[in-house]
Amino acid sequence: MTRLLFVNAAQVVTCAGPGRGRRGAEMADAGLLTGAAVAVDGESIAAVGNGDSLRRQFPDAAEIDCGGRLLTPGLVDSHTHAIFGRARYEEQEMRAAGIGYMEIARRGGGIHSSVADLRSRSEDELFDLALPRVRKLASYGSTTIEVKSGYGLSLEDELKSLRVIARLQKALPVRLVPTWLGAHEIPLEYREPTARRREYVRYLVDEMLPAVANEKLASFADVFCEPGVFTTAETREILDASRGAGLAIKLHADELEPHGGAELAADLGATSADHLGAISTRGIAALAQSTTVATLLPGTMLFLGRSSQAPARALIDAGAAVALATDFNPGTSPTFNFPLILTLGVSQLRMSAAEALVAATVNGAAALGVAKSTGQIAPGYSADVALWDADDFREIPYWYGDRRCMGTWRQGKPCHAL
Ligand code: NIG
Ligand code: FE
C-alpha cells in the first residue's frame, strides 16, 4: 500500500474534531497546526504530528515536500449543477436591464432554455461538455463535488444526465456525489392548463424516482422549493417519497423569497437546506435547532445582482452549521472558483477565514452526509488534501479570484495537479 508523508508545510489546517457539521461557535476553530507533518497510509490519513517522529514511524513513506506552503483538507463543493449544455450569457444583460430571474423564467428562458438545450444533446455530447468543467472545478481545490441533474425534466433526460455523472465518476479521480433534481422546474409541457403541474409531481414520484432509485444513479433528491416553482406541500410530497425510496434529501429553500423552505427542511430532517438568501427569523431558529446544514451560495446572489446575501452571521450566531458552495450552473453562478466563494463568505457574509474554511470542508461534507469520513486531516479520514501557494490559510479568501491551489490528493492519490 502506498504510504505518503507530507512534510515542510508552513501550516496544516486540519478541521479535526467530531465527524459531523460544526455548529455556531465551533466553526471558528479550523484546527490550525504549524510545523506539522501528515502521514497517509493507503487511502486514509494515518497520523498528524511531528515530522521527525512520523519519519521514524513510517520509514518507507514517500515524502512530499510542501515547500513551506499551506495544506488543508480537500474542499467539498456540496452544490453544483454541472450537467448542462450551452452557456446563458444573454440573461445576464437582461437582468442588468431590469428583467428579474423569475420573469426571465416566466418568458421561457432561464432553466427552461437549459432544458430545451440539454434535451437536444446526446449523453456523449453532455459528457464531453461536463468533463472539462468538472476538471476545472477540481483545479480550484475540491476533492469532493456534488453534481445535480435537473435540466432534463423527463424520465429519459434526467436518466441521461445522471448517467453522465456516473461516467464522469469513472473518468475522474475527484469524488462526485450525484443528486437527482427532477423537481428543478415544472417543464413547459406541464404548465397549461395549471392542473397539469399536479401530473408532473405524480410523474416525478411514480415514474422518475423509481427509475433513478432502481439504477442507483443518485445519492440525494433535491427540489427547487420557491414561490413560482414547487410549493412547500409539493416539496414535502416529493422528498418524503424520495426518502422512502432510499435517497437522502436536500432542498433549494428560501432562495429569493421567504416562504417556509428552511422550516420545511428542518421538519423533514433534510441533510441540507441550500441558498437561504431570503430565510426568515423562524427559519433561522428552525435550522439552528436541527441537524440540517445551511448551505450558502453567495456567488449566486452576487451574479444575480441581488443587494442582499444570506444571513450567515445570524445563522452561525444562532448555532446552525453553515456550509459554502459554488452553485456552479449556467444561469445564476457560472464560476469554477470555489476559493472566490470563500472570499465572498468573508467579505459579504462576514464570516471569519476559519469559519469559511470549515464551511467549505467539514461542513460541506456534512451537507453531503459524509462528514464521518471526509473533510478533515485527522487519523482515519479519507486522505483528501489540497496544497496551496500560500503560507497562511487566510490567503485563500484574500487573493480573490486567484487560483492558488497547487495540487490535490484524493484517497492518497494525486487528484488534480497544476
Ligand atoms: O441554484 N435555483 C435554482 N437552480 C439554480 C439555477 C438554475 C438556473 O438558473 O439554471 C440555482 O441557482
Ligand atoms: Fe442550485
pLDDT in tens, 22-35: 999 999 999 999 99
Nearest CA-CA partner of 245 in 267, 272, 216, 222: 216
d(CA 192, CA 59): 70
Q: Which residues line ligand 1 (CB under 6 A)?
A: 81, 110-111, 114, 224, 252, 255, 300, 327, 329-332
Mutate to test the pocket of ligand 1, among 80, 224, 256, 272 (most ligand atoms within 8 A of CB): 224
Over the range 353-385, which residues count as b (16 or more CB within 10 Å of their CB) and which as e?
bbbbbbbbbbbbbbbbbbbeebbbbbeebbbbb
Kindly report the protein residue whose alpha carbon is nearest to atom 3 of ligand 1: 224
Grid cell locating 76: 467539498
d(CA 242, CA 315): 27
Half-sphere exposure of 225 (CA within 13 A, CB side): 34
**DSSP string of 224-260, one letter each residue:** EESTTSB-HHHHHHHHHHHHHTT-EEEEEESSSS-SS
Pairing of strands 36-41, 44-50: antiparallel
**DSSP single-letter state for residue 28:** G
- Which pLDDT score is estimated for 106? 86
Position 108 pLDDT exceeds 90: no
Q: What distance separates the 2 farthest-apart alpha carbons in the chain?
A: 73
pLDDT in tens, 299-320: 999 999 999 999 999 999 999 9
Distance in angstroms between the alpha carbons of the first and the last residue of the chain: 25
Nearest CA-CA partner of 320 in 79, 18, 22: 22
Q: Point out the least confidently predicted range of 22-36, 76-90, 100-114, 226-240.
A: 100-114
Question: Are the CB atoms for 397 and 390 separated by under 8 Å?
Answer: no
Mean of pLDDT values over 124-145: 98
Pairing of strands 44-50, 62-73: unpaired
Half-sphere exposure of 138 (CA within 13 A, CB side): 29
Share above pLDDT 70 across residues of the chain, in percent, rounded to a whole number: 100
Residue indicated by cell numbers 477540481: 138
Contacts of 148 (CB under 8 A, 6+ apart): 79, 80, 81, 82, 83, 178, 179, 180, 181, 184, 222
d(CA 288, CA 318): 6
- Which pLDDT score is estimated for 17? 98
Question: Are the CB atoms for 182 and 114 separated by under 8 Å?
Answer: no
Mean of pLDDT values over 229-236: 97
| Cα 334 to ligand 2 centre (Å) | 11
- Residue intervals of the chain classified under CATH 3.20.20.140 are 76-366
pLDDT band at 107 (very low <50, low <70, confident <90, very high): confident
Q: Point out the least confidently predicted range of 91-105, 157-171, 260-274, 377-391.
A: 91-105
- CATH of range 3-73+376-417; options 2.30.40.10, 3.60.20.30, 3.40.1440.60, 1.10.150.120: 2.30.40.10
Grid cell locating 6: 507530507
- Which pLDDT score is estimated for 140? 98
Mutate to test the pocket of ligand 1, among 79, 86, 89, 111 (most ligand atoms within 8 A of CB): 111
d(CA 397, CA 386): 15
**DSSP string of 146-192, one letter each residue:** EEE--S--SHHHHHHHHHHHHHHHHH-SSEEEEEEEEETS--GGGSS
pLDDT band at 406 (very low <50, low <70, confident <90, very high): very high
Amino acid letter, 43: E
Position 1 pLDDT exceeds 90: no
Share above pLDDT 90 across residues of the chain, in percent, rounded to a whole number: 95
| Cα 333 to ligand 2 centre (Å) | 9
- Which pLDDT score is estimated for 416? 87
Mutate to test the pocket of ligand 1, among 107, 329, 335, 341 (most ligand atoms within 8 A of CB): 329
Contacts of 362 (CB under 8 A, 6+ apart): 15, 17, 21, 22, 73, 76, 371, 375, 376
Nearest CA-CA partner of 81 in 416, 331, 323: 331
Ligand number nearest CA of 111 is: 1
Classify 216 as helix, strand or coil: coil
Mean of pLDDT values over 399-414: 97
Ligand number nearest CA of 304 is: 1
| Cα 178 to ligand 2 centre (Å) | 13
- Residue intervals of the chain classified under CATH 2.30.40.10 are 3-73+376-417
| Cα 150 to ligand 1 centre (Å) | 9
Global pTM value: 0.98
Mean of pLDDT values over 100-105: 90
Determine the atom of ligand 1 nearest the C-alpha atom of 111. Answer: 10
Q: Burial level of 408, CB count in 10 A (0-12/13-18/19+)?
A: buried
pLDDT band at 195 (very low <50, low <70, confident <90, very high): confident
pLDDT band at 418 (very low <50, low <70, confident <90, very high): low
Ligand number nearest CA of 148 is: 2
CATH code, residues 76-366: 3.20.20.140
Mean of pLDDT values over 245-260: 96
Q: How many residues does the chain have?
A: 418
Kindly report the protein residue whose alpha carbon is nearest to atom 10 of ligand 1: 331
d(CA 406, CA 383): 16
Over the range 198-223, which residues count as b (16 or more CB within 10 Å of their CB) and which as e?
eebbebbbeebbebbbeeebbbbbbb
